[in-house]
Structure 1
Amino acid sequence: MERSSELSWAGKGILQYDVNHQKFELTRYQPSIELAPFIKHYWIVRWDLRDQEPYQQTILSHPNVNMVLEDGQARIFGISRITSTHLLKNKGAVLGVKFTSGGFYPFWNQSLDQLINISIAADKLFGEEILALAASIQQANQVYSKNTETENIRWVIQLENLIKRRLPKRDASGEKVNAIVDRIKNNPHITRVNRLANEIATNPRTLQRLFHRYIGIGPKWVIQRYRLHEAAEQMDQGELLDWANLAQNLGYFDQAHFIKDFKAIVGKSPVGYINTVNSLDH
């Protein structure tokens, strides 16, 4: 079981990662070749904050469904339109699966727009074995482990085997969605749906239907979310940016709309966010 090599995107979506990553350990593992069309990676977060204050981490989600095993429970989380927060306290570990953008639909066979901002019980799709694995992880958190890497790999292999037993047929449309989302992520010049549609030789309405079925949300949202990840990463360096230029790069017509949306999604203005980063860094 190999660790994921997506180092350039290691902290994207984890707000203020550079300042706060010492509070926890995040490890990612690649899926087997058989599962690669469906699963982006497995991830494990561990923390030990005994004798420390609890820590609240804010996440700006990617356009992906995640399955999370934590506190003896297993749930499947759809995309969150705004940030989500996670409280870390005492000692613990969480095991998760990040599905590819088009990879969860074949398991569920329903439009993903029904999962936006909600979660469902994972055992509905993956059986009671997923709850047994979640319970074993919760139990392991209560004892000291000399080799967390070995334990991590054991958990991931168990989870992958559970998923393999319910593996659907490969889905050409889902894999097309994966390729389109990778194109958006890796090409910052894509800031408009029309431009994306032209580049992949389709029309915007077809793209809309495809994204809503397989991801649960439209291509405009996906484009802006990836550009927002890039902006947040720059802000995490404490940089005061050219807001007008940034707004244009994110696909906004003016700076005011960008600031309004940023505050609605993140909970504070861009300048307020940078001030928070600088205060944490000092």
Structure 2
Amino acid sequence: MRRDMRELGGAWTRYQRHAFPTPSPDLAPYVERYWVVSWEYPEPYRQLIVPYPNVHLTFGGGRGIVNGVSSGHQVKVLTGVDGIFGVAFRPGCFRPFLGAPVSTITDRSIDATEVFPGDLPDPLDVPTVEDYLRRRRPEPDPRAAEVAEIVATIAATGRINRVDALAEYLGIGVRAVQRLFAEYVGIGPKWVIRRYRLREVTERLARGEPVDWAALAAELGYADQAHFTRDFRKMFGESPTHYAARY
């Protein structure tokens, strides 16, 4: 199957515009970032989306949707002239809004009104969306903030490559870590660790660095290159070298 040339060598930047406004200080404990994407595709384009452990609230097409953490990559078809305004919640910090384990919406999308009753924000700009969130802000949950910091530590600390290492770092059992992540993050700690270690690969590709795949696999804690490639393909839907062509 011939590959779409619009996804190679960063060509997508000619068709899409991205912005990432910073949340106000009073919402920053809950919101990691806002993201605004607009596109113009005369012909349909298959957009690869590789998830992080964030719950997203998206507005577009007159609808609001809560998107739980996705356990694998997705492909969204973009066509015409359109756009989306998104709210990415800090990992662990959607639990107070949802009022239930975040794992109950993993790999699911639900109407925003199931969590945020009332009218959608209009117009779709940062002040209006922030007012929408403030009026629905829950009581503080110290545990949510703790979990957000745990995920931030995983993201920043390359030496945490296994769940047992994370459990040891936190001073609790592996089962307790797994229960905590199901309740607040919505997906298991093994998935979160793997996702942030693989992020290091894509960041190197984006910087244009040459990659020794076998050495990189060992650096990230994989037994061999085959295990690394299998994990990468499962997360991104394609091999590391195939994905590298996007840059």
TM-score band, normalised by shorter chain:
0.7 to 0.9
- Taking the aligned partners of 1:129 and 1:201, their CA distance within structure 2 comes to 44
Structure 1 range deviating more: 180-189 or 261-270: 261-270
Which stretches of structure 1, 4 residues or longer, exceed 6 Å deviation after superposition?
none
Structure 1 range deviating more: 38-47 or 96-105: 38-47
- Taking the aligned partners of 1:16 and 1:84, their CA distance within structure 2 comes to 18
The unaligned stretches of length 5 or more in structure 1 are: 1-14, 138-153
Superposed CA RMSD:
2.3
How much identity, in percent, do the aligned residues show?
37
SS at match of 1:191: coil
Give the aligned partner of residue 257 of structure 1: 227
1:40 aligns with 2:32: yes
Instruction: Decide which of 192, 200, 207 is 1:222's aligned counterpart.
Output: 192
Structure 1 range deviating more: 263-272 or 62-71: 263-272
Give the aligned partner of residue 193 of structure 1: 163
1:8-157 mapped onto 2 (5 Å cutoff): 18-49=10-41, 52-130=42-120, 133=121, 155-157=125-127
Count of equivalent residues:
241
- Taking the aligned partners of 2:48 and 2:118, their CA distance within structure 1 comes to 30
Asked if the contact 2:91/2:184 (under 8 Å) is kept, the reply is yes
- Taking the aligned partners of 1:25 and 1:17, their CA distance within structure 2 comes to 16
Alignment CA distance shift 1:163-1:238 (3 Å): same
**When you count strand as a share of all residues, which structure comes out higher?**
2
TM-score, structure 2 normalization = 0.87
Asked if the contact 1:189/1:249 (under 8 Å) is kept, the reply is no
Give the aligned partner of residue 4 of structure 2: none
TM-score, structure 1 normalization = 0.77
Give the aligned partner of residue 3 of structure 2: none
Please state how far the C-alpha of 1:29 moved relative to its aligned partner.
1.6
- Taking the aligned partners of 1:273 and 1:238, their CA distance within structure 2 comes to 13
Asked if the contact 1:23/1:55 (under 8 Å) is kept, the reply is no
**When you count helix as a share of all residues, which structure comes out higher?**
1
The unaligned stretches of length 5 or more in structure 2 are: 1-6
SS at match of 1:44: strand
Give the aligned partner of residue 178 of structure 1: 148
Alignment CA distance shift 1:112-1:16 (3 Å): farther
- Taking the aligned partners of 1:223 and 1:205, their CA distance within structure 2 comes to 16
